């Protein structure tokens, strides 16, 4: 992995008031614990720490903590950045947790997944869906991969890559369930076009067309006589 370094000093005072003063002075409050050592309160240089954190793909990363001791000589401590508390509106870093590690003991951590290649299924109108963006692994600290690359260049519509399909460097064990899907190519969505239903009267007319009226010659003659009589009566008036 690319080397990540945080610079810190020991600090005194706890609580919200002390934390606010630290931030105003250009520091982030934090804690260092693990590997059989007593937890200790630290303050991390704010500007450089925030520049690093903006580039991180996950919070659970390995980092060197350069801790300035009371004697003035800095001590380099191998750590995992276990937790980063961020203020959701201004996105300021509020607190950092560092966990001491030993280089001869395996650690668990989440590694970012990078998708590589172009899936043929995308050219057919498919949709790429990435279900896992991080995969938990276990290995010695110096063997932690910087990322896990997943090649999708052979995926057609309906194809997928699961955790069990990936190949990791020797000594790196996957903790995630093997059947979990990392990425899949979904079929394109087809919109169903519904025809507008005709009005009820129109349906009845279409189903039962009107038939012409059929009358006999005698009925036709009687109707003509009635019309002529009505016309004569009207003229008399």
Does the structure show a pLDDT above 80 at 218? no
pLDDT of residue 156: 96
DSSP label at residue 47 = H
- How much is the pLDDT for 12? 82
Residues pairing with 139 in the sheet: 107
Q: Which residue has the higher pLDDT, 72 or 142?
A: 142
Residue holding tokens 């590589």?
Answer: 116
Instruction: Report which of residues 219 and 34 the model is more confident about.
Output: 34
Q: Indicate the range of 109-113, 206-210, 228-232, 233-237 predicted with least confidence.
A: 206-210
> Alpha carbon of 2 to those of 52, 62, 99, 146: distances in Å?
11, 9, 18, 7
DSSP three-state, residue 98: strand
C-alpha of 15 from chain center: 35
Q: Which pairing describes strands 37-45 and 5-10: parallel, antiparallel, or unpaired?
A: antiparallel
């Amino acid at each position: 992995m690319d080397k990540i370094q945080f610079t810190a000093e020991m600090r005194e005072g706890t609580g919200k008031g002390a934390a606010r003063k630290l931030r105003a002075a250009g520091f982030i409050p934090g804690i260092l614990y693990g590997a059989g050592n007593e937890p200790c309160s630290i303050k991390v240089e704010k500007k450089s720490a925030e520049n690093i954190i903006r580039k991180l793909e996950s919070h659970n990363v390995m980092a060197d903590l350069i801790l300035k001791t009371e004697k003035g000589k800095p001590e380099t401590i191998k750590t995992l950045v276990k937790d980063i508390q961020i203020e959701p509106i201004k996105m300021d870093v509020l607190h950092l947790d560092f966990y001491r590690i030993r280089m001869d003991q395996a650690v668990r951590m989440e590694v970012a997944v990078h998708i590589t290649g172009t899936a043929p299924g995308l050219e057919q109108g498919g949709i790429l869906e990435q279900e896992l963006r991080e995969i938990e692994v276990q290995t010695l600290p110096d063997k932690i991969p910087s990322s896990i690359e997943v090649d999708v260049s052979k995926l057609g519509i309906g194809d997928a890559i699961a955790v069990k399909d990936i190949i990791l460097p020797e000594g790196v064990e996957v903790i995630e369930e093997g059947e979990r899907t990392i990425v899949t190519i979904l079929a394109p969505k087809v919109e169903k076009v519904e025809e507008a239903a005709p009005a009820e009267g129109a349906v009845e007319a279409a189903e039962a067309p009107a038939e012409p009226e059929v009358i006999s010659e005698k009925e036709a003659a009687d109707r003509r006589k009635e019309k002529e009589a009505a016309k004569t009566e009207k003229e008399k008036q």
